[in-house]
Structure 1
């Protein structure tokens, strides 16, 4: 029995040792994996927002008699290129661009063989060089060298703004570049790239450094194709009328850019819409446009033309589109500008539906009438097929009148009453058009807006030239929407009667050429954009009040 007991104790001891060994092994493995997990990059904590620090430049920046082919810039951390084709630039520009290559923490720049003698070059990096992990850009850094004994050190600085809004929007306008062209090379404008240029910062400021003494022309250009050439009608341009003579640093240049007048007129787009209308768009507004069908000539008498308010586009409506091709002649102020041909596919089909359009949704007021119009020309509206119901009772004592100016607009007048429910029913075939397609029935329900929230305000506007036409635009207080247009000539009195109460502001345009619209810059004729003045703070139209206000304008 003793032997058995001893063997039993030995067996239990071995099992205990084995169990302890397994426990110890499990603990070691767990610690190993925990240690491995701790070796990973920690998550959380503050994000790295510090850009790479430049440690050395080889050759040194601002070097004269520069002969090297490779520039090496060393940083304190790994770097990478970020959209460098757009961000990097060398000024003056070169035919063959430098080559940029990253080698760990260094940027290697291989220069082309085409550098000119006795010239100061500036390499701007924009935001195209960033750290490897977080993409923090190196900003406000440029590398300058001179291929001759002199390092040009003059500068031109200033700011740019949008000529129409009088502001700079960093979300939309960061693509603006400022170009400097020596007057002896000014013939390249609009044809070749400007060699000397810079981008603007987030506030619209610019600074072109390391310039030589010379006479320059200066431009602000907001591009569409990033080629530093003003060659697109959609691009915005600004300039100083006079050249600048650079003998010392020049500051505080102010450039206003706008969509300018293209050098040559052209029809930028024309096509037949799915509803059968012919649309045409120009690359510039016209002052007194005239479109004529010259083939087939008999269609001219049948055509209906509807121009946009800006006179830069129009719709042409024909009773039937049965032509194979049609030829138009475009004129402005009775001067023929162009002629175009539009061809129609033989199997083309059109979905033409005359849809009445009203100026109300669910409310009507006693100041503004209900209006009826359509995208297509209206030849007549049958009053008998227009029904007004007041609390389900049909009312016939309303007026239906065609507008005296817009022949495609009809007014509905009625003595609307409070606490009544209304229905305006335009029955099927109520509206006649040059098309045979009738309108479908339209039912609109609404009530009277009972608020008496209307007021009057009268302005006396000082500092207006009696020989100049002014366009006065009433806008919402955020300057986003034009609510009313008025024109002042040889008068400084402005009246708004029965206007909804609320906050508004004014924009006044100096319409120098008297064409009743704002015109941007014409760089080819050295004409600046027409001046604009904004009221510096909103005003309030108060309900049931008549106000008198005096404002002083100052056009720059």
Structure 2
């Protein structure tokens, strides 16, 4: 009996122990209390924010919790701009800013931190914050704001300096630092603070390459506005969102609060980079013995002249020059010249001197080929040996002579235009060297009519912009088949090689496979070009506005397109940038604010007034490459924890 009692007691003890262990295992670890979701708050500034008669160069801003700075070197902007960069540090609950430049008399200083202040643990952003003080008896509190866009494509310009001068002279932008500055965000937006209410200003934007706060390099992007800015303000209201106290993802209410509206607040600056006009010979190049090239920094009215020192330049070259004479290729005709290890020559051109003026300039060059004639001969010998070995192997055991003369390599020819073309397209031939002869009788173009193939007339022309490209043009009929035969030796290259035979069957698409677009533009009474763009913001085709302000597009493949228009002030058919010295703005660009879906067999008439939509709202977001930064917000981890526990 006693033994049975102890047996039950032991079993009961084991059950209690198991339950106790299970109970202990189910206890969760302490969660440390709720997450901090409150942004940092300023509790003290030394000197006080908006203090006057300040002479100290050290600013201390103290917060109610430990903080950190995110991207301070990019986001913190100090006005007036500092020649020697300020020292900006986060130390515990403090931000310490030390200025090294001499303080200006009777001047307002602004330190704009943007959104870079966060609490140290959770990264809760404080939001846009700025601090200011004055070295005089009063402080300037006016503001102006706006947007900077790329003049060529209306992309928002991120990280550009925007600044003001109270000196209204046009030359100050090229001689003295900006007085008040701000930096654009990812939307191209800026706010310049600490502006005097009793002054007038001119505004500029600058991609400051050398960080001197004024325009002194043509490579720097710039924007300017000839209008004079007079700051002003008026009472206004704004709507604020009130978020739920315990869940920052839930909107509690929307309230209207009084505020001050500072104006102008809708400034639009279009930033451009000037044409490079400083003229230098940047790179002479001789990759192969039979060709050398000269590359210049800028376009020129006349190409550079060559004078040979160890060879005669008279009728020595076929010249292939770019339209702007900044890239010059010289194809050497005479093998006695290009077999020289080094070509010694004098290059004469109009170059830029130390004062920025174009003056006659002479450079002496000694051009050795990167690929030597010796290496070329070795490659040719190896190629011949391999060919001869293959011939012997092929004729092994056969009672027939072996040809010891290796056939010349054919001239490589690239023929564009696939097996299917639109009636508005043509066939193009391109080559790796200049062509010295075309045998027109070697081309045969036939059209299929019923069961017969009939000769079709055509023309072949050399491309005006590329001497190594030719175009075969014909009256292509929709829904018809063609066959093009190009006999061997149709083209002869500069160095004696000829093309081999080529054939191409061509089917011309039906007109029903295409769309047509007819654009009627209003509000523009000057010469303009309308461009049809793809989803990558690249030009598919363009048309000039006619006298009725219309631009028509035919043979458009079905798809989604976008539209851009630019004012062609000089009627040259291309977009031109601006120039500050002559106060010339870049040619104005507009975007149609919506996409256009074109389908097969559709004929669409589209009206467009480019002035109806503000410039800042025109470019569709789908083709805007500079997307807005993701706005920083409270992480709302308490609500997330609560949800996960459900």
How high is the TM-score relative to the length of structure 2? 0.65
Correspondence for 2:368: 346
Distance 1:454 1:539 in 2: 14
Report the CA distance between 1:512 and its aligned residue.
2.1
Matches within 5 A, 1:165-176: 165=153, 167-169=154-156, 173-176=157-160
Please, which moves more after superposition, 397-406 or 146-155? 397-406
Matched, 1:434 2:494: yes
Correspondence for 1:317: 330
Q: Does the 8 Å contact 2:173/2:215 carry over to 1?
A: yes
Q: Does the 8 Å contact 1:475/1:504 carry over to 2?
A: yes
Correspondence for 2:162: 178
Q: 1:475 to 1:87 in 2, by over 3 A?
A: same
**Alignment equivalent of 1:221, drawn from 187, 202, 206:** 206
Report the CA distance between 1:475 and its aligned residue.
0.5
Distance 1:346 1:312 in 2: 23
Matched, 1:292 2:304: yes
Q: 1:294 to 1:281 in 2, by over 3 A?
A: closer
Secondary structure of 2:264's partner? strand
Secondary structure of 1:124's partner? strand
Q: 1:199 to 1:66 in 2, by over 3 A?
A: same
**Alignment equivalent of 1:508, drawn from 565, 580, 583:** 565
Correspondence for 2:539: 482
Distance 2:473 2:151 in 1: 41
**Alignment equivalent of 2:428, drawn from 334, 353, 371:** 371
Please, which moves more after superposition, 110-119 or 262-271? 262-271
Distance 2:562 2:313 in 1: 46
Secondary structure of 1:452's partner? helix
Matches within 5 A, 1:37-436: 38=29, 51-112=39-100, 114-133=102-121, 135=123, 137-165=125-153, 167-169=154-156, 173-183=157-167, 187-191=171-175, 193-212=177-196, 213-224=198-209, 227-245=212-230, 250-261=263-274, 264-267=277-280, 269-272=282-285, 274=287, 276=291, 278=293, 280-283=295-298, 289-296=301-308, 299=313, 302-307=317-322, 311=324, 313-319=326-332, 323-329=343-349, 339=361, 341=363, 343=365, 345-349=367-371, 355-374=412-431, 376-383=433-440, 397=455, 399=457, 401-403=459-461, 406=464, 408-411=469-472, 413=474, 430-436=490-496
Correspondence for 2:555: 499
Report the CA distance between 1:411 and its aligned residue.
0.6
Distance 2:200 2:536 in 1: 39
Report the CA distance between 1:180 and its aligned residue.
1.2
Q: Does the 8 Å contact 2:307/2:346 carry over to 1?
A: yes
Q: Does the 8 Å contact 2:532/2:561 carry over to 1?
A: yes
Alignment RMSD: 5.0
Secondary structure of 2:74's partner? helix
Report the CA distance between 1:548 and its aligned residue.
6.5
Q: Does the 8 Å contact 2:543/2:552 carry over to 1?
A: no
Distance 1:312 1:272 in 2: 16
Distance 2:506 2:276 in 1: 51
**RCO higher in structure (CA 8 A, sep ≥6):** 2
Distance 2:172 2:314 in 1: 44
Distance 1:471 1:299 in 2: 45
Secondary structure of 1:159's partner? strand
Distance 1:353 1:141 in 2: 71
Q: Does the 8 Å contact 2:117/2:126 carry over to 1?
A: yes
How high is the TM-score relative to the length of structure 1? 0.74
Q: 1:113 to 1:223 in 2, by over 3 A?
A: closer
Distance 1:441 1:220 in 2: 59
Secondary structure of 1:145's partner? strand
Report the CA distance between 1:240 and its aligned residue.
0.9
Distance 1:450 1:495 in 2: 23
Q: Write the deviation string for residues 165-208 of structure 1: whole angstroms up to 9, x where unpaired.
A: 3x343xxx211221112317864533554242101234333221
Aligned residues: 524
Report the CA distance between 1:92 and its aligned residue.
0.8
Report the CA distance between 1:223 and its aligned residue.
4.3
Report the CA distance between 1:121 and its aligned residue.
0.6
Q: 1:124 to 1:189 in 2, by over 3 A?
A: same
Q: Write the deviation string for residues 84-130 of structure 1: whole angstroms up to 9, x where unpaired.
A: 23332321123333323332222222343721222111112234444
Q: 1:307 to 1:61 in 2, by over 3 A?
A: same
Distance 2:69 2:419 in 1: 57
Distance 1:547 1:104 in 2: 64
Distance 1:508 1:113 in 2: 47
Distance 2:362 2:30 in 1: 72
Report the CA distance between 1:479 and its aligned residue.
7.7
Q: Does the 8 Å contact 2:54/2:133 carry over to 1?
A: yes
Q: 1:433 to 1:263 in 2, by over 3 A?
A: closer
Q: Does the 8 Å contact 2:55/2:103 carry over to 1?
A: no
